[in-house]
């Protein structure tokens, strides 16, 4: 634990993750107050804030400190807003959605390791998820440290993948759940894009492996060989010592670096419990490769 002046930073894992305390992020923050939070983000990649009850307006105000919020596209129930709704509750009625409803089937793709918006030409900086209604058990969010995953790769493998580019698309991850789950409109909004296989932090230079469920194959490689490489990289990354799991409680806020970690949801009983999480996604400022 260390005190940076306006905040206290407590490490949650030996490799990444920190709990931030000593500040109320539900109120407007000055640039001086936000500075240490941003610095902690660059260092720790995942920031956890406890007991910070958010409504939509407060979450947008906090999100705006990080950059420009992405607008959610037609595939999400909150399309056209700044929110990607993660919930088993109908947005209109507040009642539980049946498990066989397409909206619940669509969310099953969240169980795969992924980086939010890697399927966009300019991938995102970070995501901010707030817990509004939590089940008493299950529904954790798990994080995977891709800086450590990169560092653990043999140098020869690092050199092999350094010039490579993968093709990412939302359709690739959703087709793993159910073929054809995306509408024609969603497919048109989100055509495949290219991403290199690593990202470098512009502040501290730390390199992170950049893959995940939206990545499908390696550009200009035979598809089976490219898929095999992505599978091997995912297998090497998914090690217990690189993982951290967060058990949510209402009022939690987590900010994670989509350049440096993958994340996934874990199961909860959606027929028994209610769950409402609201996510804002902050756009990045650069493409990884020309499109």
pLDDT of residue 4: 57
pLDDT at 3 over 70: no
Domain ranges of the chain: 2-283
Phi and psi torsions of 279, nearest 5° = -115, 135
How far apart are the C-alpha atoms of 248 and 143, rounded to whole Å? 13
Question: Residue 188: how many CB atoms within 10 A of its CB?
Answer: 10
pLDDT of residue 37: 98
pLDDT of residue 186: 86
Q: What is the CATH number of domain 2-283?
A: 3.60.130.10
b/e for 234-258, b at 16 or more Cβ within 10 A?
Answer: bebbeeeebbbebebeebbbbbbbb
Measuring CA to CA, which residue among 264, 251, 250, 276 is closest to residue 96? 276
CA dist list (Å): 104 to 98, 168, 266, 271:
7, 23, 14, 11
Confidence of residue 1 (pLDDT cuts 50, 70, 90): low
pLDDT, tens digit (0-9, with 9 covering 90-100), for 172-183: 999 999 998 888
pLDDT at 171 over 80: yes
Which residue has 């956890």 as its token pair?
Answer: 48
pLDDT, tens digit (0-9, with 9 covering 90-100), for 34-87: 999 999 999 999 999 999 999 999 999 999 999 999 998 766 766 789 999 999
Largest CA distance in the chain: 55
How far apart are the C-alpha atoms of 26 and 107, rounded to whole Å? 28
Contacts of 77 (CB under 8 A, 6+ apart): 85, 87, 91, 103
Q: What whole-number percentage of the chain has pLDDT above 90?
A: 89
Q: If you average pLDDT over residues 160-166, what whole number do you get? A: 98
pLDDT of residue 74: 66
How far apart are the C-alpha atoms of 37 and 47, rounded to whole Å? 9
């Amino acid at each position: 634990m260390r005190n940076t002046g306006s905040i206290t930073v407590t490490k949650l894992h030996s490799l990444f993750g920190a709990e931030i305390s000593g500040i109320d992020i539900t109120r407007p923050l000055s640039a001086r107050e936000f500075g240490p939070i941003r610095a902690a983000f660059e260092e720790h990649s995942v920031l956890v804030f406890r007991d910070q009850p958010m409504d939509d307006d407060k979450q947008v105000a906090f999100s705006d400190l990080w950059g420009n919020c992405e607008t959610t596209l037609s595939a999400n129930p909150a399309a056209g807003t700044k929110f990607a709704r993660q919930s088993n509750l109908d947005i209109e009625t507040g009642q539980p959605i049946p498990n066989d409803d397409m909206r619940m089937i669509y969310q099953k793709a969240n169980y795969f390791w992924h980086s939010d918006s890697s399927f966009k030409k300019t991938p995102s900086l970070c995501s901010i998820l707030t817990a509004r209604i939590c089940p008493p058990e299950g529904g954790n969010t798990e994080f995977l440290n891709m800086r450590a995953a990169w560092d653990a790769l043999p140098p020869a493998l690092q050199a092999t993948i350094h010039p490579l580019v993968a093709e990412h698309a939302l359709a690739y991850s959703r087709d793993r759940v159910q073929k054809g789950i995306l509408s024609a409109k969603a497919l048109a909004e989100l055509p495949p894009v290219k991403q290199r296989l690593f990202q470098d932090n512009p502040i501290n230079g730390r390199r992170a492996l950049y893959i995940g469920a939206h990545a499908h194959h390696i550009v200009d490689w035979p598809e089976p060989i490219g898929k095999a490489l992505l599978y091997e990289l995912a297998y090497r990354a998914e090690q217990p010592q690189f993982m951290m799991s967060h058990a949510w409680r209402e009022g939690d806020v987590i900010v994670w670096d989509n350049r440096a970690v993958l994340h996934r949801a874990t199961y909860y009983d959606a027929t028994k419990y209610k769950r409402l999480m609201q996510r804002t996604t902050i756009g990045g400022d650069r493409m990884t490769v020309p499109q």
